[in-house]
Chains A and B, each alone.
Chain A
Amino acid sequence: MANLTNLYDVSKCTACRGCMVACKDWNQLPAVIEPFKGNYDTHGGDTNGDTYTVVRFIEGEDPVDGVYWKFLKYQCMHCLEPACMKVCPQGAYSKTSWGATFHDPEKCIGCQYCTYACPFMIPKYRKREDKISKCTLCVDRVEEGLTPACARTCPTAALKFGDRDELLAEAEERAKFLRANGFPRATIYGRVELGGLNKLYVLTDSPDKFGLPVDPKVPGQISFWQNWIQPYFGWLIPIALGGSAISFVTTRILANKNGDHTEGGHE
């Protein structure tokens, strides 16, 4: 089965933020109301436990083109080789046959190690349930033949959903068109990054201009964990780890194993 993915074309996005609300409607997420801080970004342009996707606003001035205001929808990239999945001690993460990185809250113990592993800082802790949450690529919708809520609602079709190979070809075409029509640095993102993302972007400028890591990397200690610690963690952990975030994780794991499920206070 070919992968199914979102293609997001920034040149068509008007930042209406319908995707943000449709996501909350479909995933039954409460609002998180925080004060206005001087720009249009909500939650500092980041996701949170009840916000799976945000649109970022990037304002600046170019000596030639003048003022610009770029928009970028930001959410889980559904990496083809997800670091979150590799580090999860409980196996709460899985890949669906069509490419979504699925997080199962039933298995999640709220240890939050995935939040440190993710190169895009996507998984977030949801305090009221003491669990991690993130974009599901609307797996419940897709598996019944529906498009994800965000792509479904996009008024200008800046966001599309479909076969990854086909969308990749479309994205290449579109970037080529944009390069010839006023955006010489237009490019695509998600084709090769981190071995490929299951979210594709058509960008009118280089990724760094949109705040995307040009060459995203999984933090170094993750592979250490994955290759050495995770297989033996039952007995190695107390020896290997000190007072870092990782010790918090291990405490969680052990506490969970003892059925001692305390309220988490770490955000």
Chain B
Amino acid sequence: MKVTRRQFLKVTGATAASFALVDLGFNLQATASAVKELRIKNVTPVPTVCPYCASGCGLVVYSERDAEGKFVKLLSVHGDPDNPINQGGACSKGAAMFNLREIYDEHTGEQIVNPKRVQKPLYRAAGTDKWVEKDWDWMLDQIAQRVKETRDNSFIHKETIADGSEVIVNRTEKIASIGGSGLDNEECYLLTKMMRALGLVYLETQARI
């Protein structure tokens, strides 16, 4: 792969979106002094695609960033008016995307990170009744070791097949993988490649359930 990241990045710029902030085609003088200032004013939205049904509606995410451009918090998530599939529309699920990351607290009304989101890797040891926080490195090391151990102990390298000849079959039936329909294509691709290289044949996604 000899194409550099820089070349790719140029592409992003070339196809950058135009986001019309004005829907109505006119502006009104503020009439009520108490009206809050538009919190997405001068905020450039970032386009994404809805993670629910497969219609592929575009959504735009407005967020607050600090002077250095560092992400602070979400402001609002809307349907993407430029996307020809939904032209700005969003059903209850699409319109609720803000809650995927942040919520307004029921008692205080404060904007907080969704408390159900897990923020650290968690490990549950055999037979115990609790989760323990671990760091990523430890987790990935442990998982890699489990994979190797199970694979090596169950690996079928060669097999005598129906015509009597011996062929390489390179598979393990002791490890399985499910899911992936909520992932991006590039992620699915790495998953399918890694799992098959390990010899998995029990490989399934939500397409079948």
Contacts and interface: CB of A to CB of B under 8 A. Distances in A.
Q: Direct A–B touching in the complex (beta carbon < 8 Å)? A: yes
B24 A142 contact: yes
A260 interface: no
B77 interface: yes
A153 B78 contact: yes
B111 A28 contact: yes
A18 B23 contact: no
A147 B22 CA distance: 8
A interface residue count range (under 10 / 10 to 19 / 20 to 34 / 35 or more):
35 or more
A152 interface: yes
A267 interface: no
Contacts of B109: 28-30, 50, 128-129
B106 A32 contact: yes
- Interface centre among B22, B35, B36, B94, by most chain A C-beta atoms within 10 angstroms, is B35
Interface stretch (A78-86, A94-102, A239-247): A94-102
B206 interface: no
Contacts of A33: 106
A20 to B, nearest CB: 7
Interface stretch (A59-67, A154-162, A174-182, A198-206): A154-162
Interface in B125-146: none
Contacts of B32: 94, 96, 102, 104, 139
A11 B28 CA distance: 31
B89 A17 contact: no
Contact of B104 (A1, A18, A30, A156): A30
Interface stretch (B95-103, B176-184, B194-202): B95-103
A18 B90 contact: yes
A71 to B, nearest CB: 13
B90 A22 contact: yes
Given A98-B28, A146-B38, A17 B104 contact: no
B25 interface: yes
Contact of A25 (B26, B37, B96): B96
Interface in A1-55: 1, 4, 16-18, 20-22, 24-26, 28-33, 50
Contacts of B78: 22, 25, 149, 152-153
Contact of A146 (B23, B105, B108): B23
Interface string A131-173: 0000000011111111101001111110001100000000000
Contacts of A139: 32, 35
Nearest to B106: A30
Contacts of A20: 92
B26 A31 contact: no
- Interface centre among A4, A31, A104, A146, by most chain B C-beta atoms within 10 angstroms, is A146
B76 A25 contact: yes
A148 to B, nearest CB: 10
A252 to B, nearest CB: 20
A50 B108 CA distance: 12
15 contacts: A18-B92, A25-B98, A32-B106, A94-B32, A102-B34, A104-B32, A128-B109, A139-B35, A140-B36, A142-B24, A143-B27, A144-B41, A145-B23, A153-B79, A155-B89
Interface of A: 1, 4, 16-18, 20-22, 24-26, 28-33, 50, 94, 96-98, 102, 104-107, 128-129, 139-147, 149, 152-157, 161-162
Given A21-B96, A26-B76, 11 more contacts: A22-B78, A24-B104, A32-B106, A33-B106, A104-B32, A139-B32, A141-B38, A142-B28, A143-B28, A146-B22, A153-B95
Q: Which 7 A-B pairs have the closest CB atoms?
A: A155-B89, A16-B91, A21-B95, A30-B104, A145-B22, A104-B34, A17-B92
